[in-house]
Structure 1
Amino acid sequence: MKYRILIATLIAVIAVACQSQKSTEENSSEEQALKFPEKAKDMNIYEVNIRQYTPEGTINAFRSHLPRLQEMGVDILWVMPVQPISEKNRKGPLGSYYSIRDYTAINPNFGTEEDFKSLVDEAHKLGMYVILDWVANHTGFDHAWVEKEGYYNTDSLGNVTWPKGTDWTDVADLNYDNQEMRQEMISEMDWWLTQMDIDGFRCDVAGEVPQDFWTTAIDSLEQTKDIFMLAEWDEPWLHDAGFHMTYAWGPHHWMNETAKGHIDADSLEALIQGDIERYGNDAIRMMFTTNHDENSWNGTVFERFGEGHKAWAAWAFTVRGMPLIYSGQEAGLDKRLRFFDKDTISFDTIPHQEFYSKLLELKHSNAALHNGKWGGNLSFIEDGNNKVSSFIRKGENNQVAVITNLSNETQTVNLQAISDQPTLTDYMTGNEIKLNEDSTLELSAFQYLVVILN
């Protein structure tokens, strides 16, 4: 009898496991049937700084973090440039990632081609996508193309120049009037799709490269593989060129100015409405409180947002577009990383991982917060307080309200717009929210509420 029970139990366990595997395979098949950008409708993106991520600063050392990032809910890994860095005109001891000596090689300080391919393979097994930072506007001064006639812009004496209007003296400005260079650039990009199996590109200073190049390049690359394309620029024409997502630089700068007290919440909301009018609802905008540029040159989230860094993150991750998390943001990165030298991020403790994980899970599970045209429409609430931003994202069957005190003082807000709900529960804490009889609510400094509405 004892053995019959044991056998029956084992059969039941195997049946459950098989059903779970079948369900996983069905979900995977359903996802594979979709193509970008729809495939990314509920996704987020995580920026990986290989040099600074671990004490070793290698691809293999970073790989140990993949299971943790998967558990946190990360979907797309954007890996900063991993190619060899030019030595000529180099800035600092190690140079800029964006001064590339060879497009189709791996910086030996980071590892090998085999290491990178293994990273991509493992990320894919864990259900994550990998896009590579691509620098199409310029190369390093010791790139092999410098020897080719007409590949670069030159001064009156014929000397190769760096990009006009910048202090980027360590990079050589490419000449997009040269059709041969354009074709070589596309071939170099295609190498990463065919040899490394990456899933797309984040394109540096994309607006400085001609639109017709991007149209041709993206059309060509999509013949090789379904890819996701992110433009580091804030202009609608990049979506016309084939990019799926653009940097929300404007909204980010408005956030910084609001945090300084230069813009109030009502004005911020009006600016966001303007961004929607400018881009429409179809374009996916990348929202963030930090990235490698902001961290190194303008300050940490603690410098720019102070004790309100979580309030601002909750607001940015829900108001519009796809959320970005930068390396170490979940660990409370509290220093400006040196850009041209080694400067390791500490993961000894990861105090904010649960916070970001919870926001990412809500993005996955609630269609009102999906990206682009797949998400709910945004309506700002007349809350009677210009220190507080309140809005509702409403989809066909989902509604989410977000109320954020963007100040360091207690504020009272009117929530008549959602007072007809039987109960209000803060998704982030599980606490019940009780409105006053006049539908007002008192918010403590930098308090934020995320409420799933019926």
Structure 2
Amino acid sequence: MINLADIQGRNRVIVESVTPELEGGRFFIKSVPQEIIKVEADIYCDGHDKIAARLLYKHGLDDKWSEVPMRFITNDRWGGSFVVEKEGFYSYTIEAWVDNLASWEHEIKLKIRDAQHVNSELLGGATLLEKIVEQASDEDKAAILDTIKIFRNEQQYDEAVLWAISETLVGWIAKYPDRENVTHYHELKIWVDRPKAGFSSWYSLFPRSAAKEPGKHGTFHDVIGLLPRIQRMGFDVLYLTPIHPIGHQFRKGKNNNVVCQPGEPGVPYGIGSELGGHDAIHPELGTLEDFKALVKACKAHDMEIAMDLAIQCSPDHPWAKNHPEWFKIRPDGTIQYAENPPKKYQDIYPINFETEAWPSLWEELRRIIFVWAEWGVRIIRVDNPHTKAFAFWEWIIAETKQKYPDMLFLAEAFTRPKVMQQLAKGGYSQSYTYYTWRNTKQELIEYMTELTQTDLQYYFRPNFWPNTHDINPPLLQEGHEPNFLIRYFMAATLSSNYGIFGPTFEYMVHEAFPGKEEYWNSEKYEIKHWDWELTNKLTYVITLVNRARKENPALQYTNNITFCDINDDQLLAYLKTHSDGNRILCVVNLDGYNRRANMVKIPLQKIGKAGWEDFIVHDLITGSKYVWKGEYNYIELDPYFLPFHLFRIEDI
């Protein structure tokens, strides 16, 4: 039998279908400072009584809750919002109750309009007002007490009726709610990251290829010499592939050849040698002090270092000798190397996350991350996180943020959607995406709609990359300049977080390993020499787009996108707006070979214009300005000149 003592029998209001909420509050949603958190819920009760609801919120360091009224939207849907002002955890919840005073006020108005005598109702109103008088301000308290006396004095009936239908009374009901039999929703959480989690521009390189002299192994000092160039182009995150000692056993050669020739440097992801593992520095790159100098130099150039966490090791890694229990052991007693049948990767030992020694493994990986944090690292790009246990990531990210709340994690997980989503729920600050393989107008619109209009908008922060050191997409393998411009521009304007693998991308390196989405003569297997002083159309465009991103807050968010109608499958147009009035219109010709022209339909309500008003569209790349009017306006894009417009909408 159900014990009646366990039932809140007087609570009549239902609160359900709250957004944002992830799996009943199992996971927190994500935000950045100054972002508006819009909360909605279905709130209703039996009968016809009026109800009231409040949205409560507080930062983890606050003792008291702040609250804002929730307003009726439609069909029992209510909404409210608040601003997260600082980093860290926020809690939020909803309280709702039958508003007896508002119900009384509604009913007595109807009766008065019907010319009914309401003496009894006025006495009931006096009793209800007595319940709120103690929470009123001194000024309002005196007025409420006077009103109670009037309601109870039959000689002042006409005056009482006027008070009963007054706006002053309505104001008291809103200001001083009578919370009886309140339904409390369970607490939900928001993690507010530092701003870079929501807005960043990544530049990836192999530090060993940073030397200016051919045949030389690059060093951290060489990378420091490249920082002015990277800063001029507008990037604020410098992502380095692993910087640790590289193993010798089964070292891979050029183009992933299983035979390594003398002098070949090996793959940086084959981590570990007799010189150390994940907490050691490859000696040809420099010393730990040299690395710390690079971290410091990046800060001086308004950039940050992102380290690459690859949880795997070479057969020469100290872990293989000292902790064989962390690996899978074959029947012959040897450690199981990585395989993707029929492929074999004898140079890599994957970690066994089902080991009985998992606590010591987890603690060692936490130690590694904390060591990096002590070096000054505050961004970690994780290699293949989807091949490690979800529970581990949830734990290690929480542990790290408890000590280093400003640490950001990027998940490099090109895998199944639900797996990518689970990693994001577990705490990853940003996530790689399928953008690299979304090429058509329909694919792009569908994917952006999924990212920005489903629950993903609350926890999955996309980071768009047109290429990586692992991926040479088919669209770029022809080396056609307009396609590089198209893919770059959309990455940088569709998403507030994006990155490129350079200088391969801006120099349009495109030769592919036959039949694969990989680079021929890939930098993973050999040291490259680049002409770092070279400039071209791409470097110029990248510089201007990054400048526009920093100057226009509408480009610093992802979920504020609206696609515009344009009757051409090769023309894509989208609008981004910001609450400060900044409005950006992007128009892209997806056909890198042919001129395209059509009429684009502007959602005038979104830009605050009437159909008869003129406005200016200012191209932030070319500097050209055009006067437009109304919904439909003409655009024309020649991919050989520039395959896109980056318009800022300005008032005349």
* TM tier, smaller: 0.7 to 0.9
Alignment partners' CA distance in 2, 1:164 and 1:203: 20
1:94 aligns with 2:265: yes
Distance of 1:34 and 1:345 partners within structure 2: 40
Query: Where do residues 193-212 of structure 1 align in structure 2 (5 Å cutoff)?
Result: 193-194=373-374, 196-212=375-391
* 2:620 alignment partner in structure 1: 427
2:408 partner amino acid: F
The match for 1:213 among 379, 382, 392 is 392
Q: Greater share of strand residues, 1 or 2?
A: 2
Deviation at 1:68, TM superposition (A): 2.6
| Equivalent-residue separation in structure 2 for 1:435 and 1:39 (angstroms) | 35
Counterpart Cα distance in 1 of 2:282 and 2:448:
40
CA drift of 1:231 comes to 0.8
Shift in Å at residue 302 of structure 1?
5.8
Distance 1:180 1:39, change over 3 A: same
Report if aligned partners of 2:200, 2:496 keep a CA contact under 8 Å in 1. no
Give the equivalent residue in structure 2 for 1:14. none
Matched, 1:106 2:281: yes
State TM-score, norm by structure 2: 0.59
Distance 2:270 2:206 in 1: 15
- Aligned residue pairs total 407
- What is the CA-CA distance between 1:228 and the residue it aligns to? 1.3
CA distance, structure 2, for counterparts of residue 317 and residue 366 of structure 1: 13
User: What is the distance in 2 between the residues matched to 1:88 and 1:329?
Assistant: 29
C-alpha spacing 1:355/1:387, structure 2 compared with 1 (3 Å) = same
Give the equivalent residue in structure 2 for 1:242.
Answer: 427
TM-score normalised by the chain length of structure 1 = 0.83
Aligned to 2:503: 328
Q: Quote how far apart the aligned CAs of 1:126 are.
A: 2.6
Q: Distance in 1 between matches of 2:345 and 2:294?
A: 31
Q: Residue 364 of structure 1: which of 537, 547, 550 is its match? A: 550
Unaligned runs of 5+ in 1: 1-32, 259-263
User: Which structure: greater helix fraction?
Assistant: 1
Letter in 2 for 1:98: Y
1:65 is aligned to: 226
Partner residue of 2:540?
354
Instruction: Map 1:27-106 to 2 at 5 A.
Output: 37-40=193-196, 41-54=198-211, 55=213, 56=216, 57-92=218-253, 93-101=264-272, 102-106=277-281
Report which structure shows greater RCO (CA 8 Å, sep ≥6): 1
| 255, 268, 292: which one aligns with 2:469 | 292
Q: 1:368 to 1:167 in 2, by over 3 A?
A: farther
Instruction: Judge which range, 355-364 or 416-425, deviates more.
Output: 416-425
Matches within 5 A, 1:296-445: 298=473, 301=476, 303=478, 306-329=481-504, 331-334=506-509, 336=519, 337-351=522-536, 352-371=538-557, 375=558, 377-396=560-579, 397-407=581-591, 408-417=593-602, 421-433=614-626, 439-445=633-639
Post-superposition offset of 1:290: 1.6
Maintained 8 Å contact 2:219/2:284: yes
Residue 120 (str. 1) matches residue 313 (str. 2):
no
> 75-84 vs 153-162, which deviates more?
153-162
Q: CA deviation at 1:281?
A: 5.0
The equivalences for 1:177-196 within 5 A come to 177=354, 178-194=358-374, 196=375
Structure 1 residues 67 and 442: alpha-carbon distance in aligned structure 2, compared to 1, 3 A threshold: closer
> Could you give the per-residue CA deviations for residues 6-25 of structure 1, whole angstroms, max 9, x where no partner exists?
xxxxxxxxxxxxxxxxxxxx
Deviations along 1:400-454, one digit per CA (max 9) or x if unpaired, are 1100001011212221316855222211111124679963322223620011124
Amino acid at match of 1:64: G
Contact kept in structure 2, 1:403 and 1:450, CA below 8 Å: yes
Aligned counterparts of 2:378 and 2:305: Cα–Cα separation in 1:
5
The residue number in structure 1 matching 2:446 is 270
Aligned to 1:12: none
Q: Find the aligned partners of 2:506 and 2:634 in 1 and give their Cα distance.
A: 35
Q: What amino acid maps onto 1:87 in structure 2?
A: H
Residue 118 and residue 278 in structure 1: after superposition, are their counterparts in 2 closer, same or farther (change >3 A)? Answer: same
Cα gap change, 1:156 to 1:279, in 2 (>3 Å): farther
Task: Indicate yes or no: 2:401 matched with 1:222.
Answer: yes
The amino acid across from 1:426 in the alignment is: D
Name the CA distance, whole Å, in 1 between partners of 2:546 and 2:193. 18
User: Which residue of the partner structure matches residue 649 of structure 2?
Assistant: 453
Give yes or no for contact 2:587–2:645 (8 Å, CA) kept in 1. yes
**Contact 2:220–2:285 (Cα < 8 Å) also in 1:** yes
Distance 1:233 1:359, change over 3 A: same
2:151 corresponds in structure 1 to none
Gaps (5+ residues) in structure 2? 1-85, 89-191, 254-263, 415-419, 511-518, 605-610
**Does the CA-based 8 Å contact 2:306-2:379 persist in structure 1?**
yes
Structure 2 CA distance, aligned partners of 1:205 and 1:104? 19
Please identify the structure whose Cα radius of gyration is greater.
2
SS of the residue corresponding to residue 44 of structure 1 reads strand
